[in-house]
Amino acid sequence: MKMPLQVAILAAGEGKRMRSARPKALQLLAGVPLLAHAIRAARAIEPRTICIVYGSGGDQVPAALPGADLTWARQERQIGTGDALKSALEHMPNDGVTLAMIGDLPLIRPETLSLLAAAVDGDRLAVLTVIAPDPFSFGRIVRDKAGRVRAIVEERDASVEERAIREINTGVLAAPTARFAQWLARLTPHNAQGEYYLTDVVAMAVSDGVEVVGVAAPDAMEVQGVNDRLQLALVERAMQRRTADVLLREGVTLADPERIDVRGTLHCGMDVAIDVNCIFEGAVTLGDAVSIGAHCVLNNVRVGAGTVIAPFSHLDDATIGARCRIGPYARIRPATVLADEVHIGNFVEVKASTIGERGKANHLAYIGDASIGRDVNIGAGTITCNYDGANKHRTIIEDDVHIGSDTQLIAPVTVRKGATIGAGATITREVPAGALTISQNKQITVPGWKRPVKAQR
């Protein structure tokens, strides 16, 4: 019968090499905390319990990563991974299998964790290993002549011969929970660091006659840890390339898979095309045949089928309809909803507004806190003056309105259906339906007027 599985994630370290006031567990990777990636991998194998050991950063760590399925254990003093796992076991059932992993392995795959847990097979200690091109600073896997794992020796405690070993410990182990409890009770800090090494349980297992099996990770990058900014950047690019590969396999066209950043989730329909250097944050959904130009940023956006977003556009917390044309250099701010076939052109900003079907604002306009109907054309330089210095006010523009260039709409104000507003108007009162409204000063020419000149020094 399959034994119940639980996961302990050891994430109490300070991460001094990050040189940051933020604890290592909360350093951002692909837009979310580093620790969140380990949690996601653990959840994918569906353990009955996930216990996270935290310490550095205090309560801000669990506060940043809420989850009803998570149990948190605080390690008051960071005195080694063995002590950290001991803290976790105090918060988990004492039967079944425990898989212990460190919290800074963001690329580890659930399939690898499942393979390691399965290797316990009743009463064995399973250790995840990898052949490293450069094993410096990692614990070495020491095997006997028959190839059986006998111990893990840390770099600082290794002999010259042991340091030549390229097979290293990844920080992920699995064993019966009761075995872990027995071994942890026997740990001592008699080593160069003066810490309780979790890796010492390997030698204890050998001494107790428990078989130790090494499970090889598919590649070194999957178990790449993150201890400094250089490693963080390395893992970021690897994660982004992994995401790009998934998108390509799903049929998305990427102009360059090395130049895309997904910092959340990106769901794409058929025939989506994404140009270089685009950033997707939060939850983004792109419908069929959507085209995203170069250097765009989309954050929590839903885009309808056939819409084209031209380069250098920034869309944030918005819903975009089908067959729209956005940009270049457009800014769509939160709480904006665009209906189908809307055109938002260069240097147009829309905020907290709705625009009906076939609406157009093609040049240099600001639309804020507005409700705009169908078939409305907004001329260049038009702005909704929605802020009086203390409060925001709404502008309502009904269907089939044409607004001339350089118009100021002083909210709150309503423009009725079919109205036309002449260029340069300042609108402070309701505009009646179907009529032309203008607001122009008389043009005056002053003969003989001279421009000011700079005073002679």
Supply the residues annotated as catalytic.
363
Which residue shows structure tokens 């409890």? 181
Q: What is the DSSP letter of 39?
A: H
Start-to-end CA distance of the chain, whole Å, equals 97
Return the structure tokens found at 455: 């005073």
d(CA 134, CA 113): 23
Paired tokens of 227? 């201890």
- Gap between the Cα atoms of 247 and 373, Å rounded: 36
Cα diameter, the chain? 107
Place of tokens 């003093």: 77
The conformation of residue 220, written as its DSSP 8-state character, comes to: G
Residues 6+ away with beta carbon under 8 Å from 457:
none
Two structure tokens written together for 309: 């977003």
- Of 11, 6, 85, 14, residue with least CA distance to 46: 6
Across 54-69, b (16+ Cβ under 10 Å) vs e yields bbbbeeebbebbeeee
Distance CA 399, CA 304 (A): 22
Question: Distance between CA atoms of 386 and 403, rounded to whole angstroms?
Answer: 17
The Cα–Cα gap between 124 and 421 comes to: 81
Let me know the angle formed at the C-alpha of 182 by 179 and 188, rounded to the nearest 5 degrees: 125
Per-residue DSSP letter, 456:
P
Say if residues 94 and 73 touch (Cβ distance below 8 Å): no
C-alpha closest to that of 37 among 336, 263, 301, 353: 263
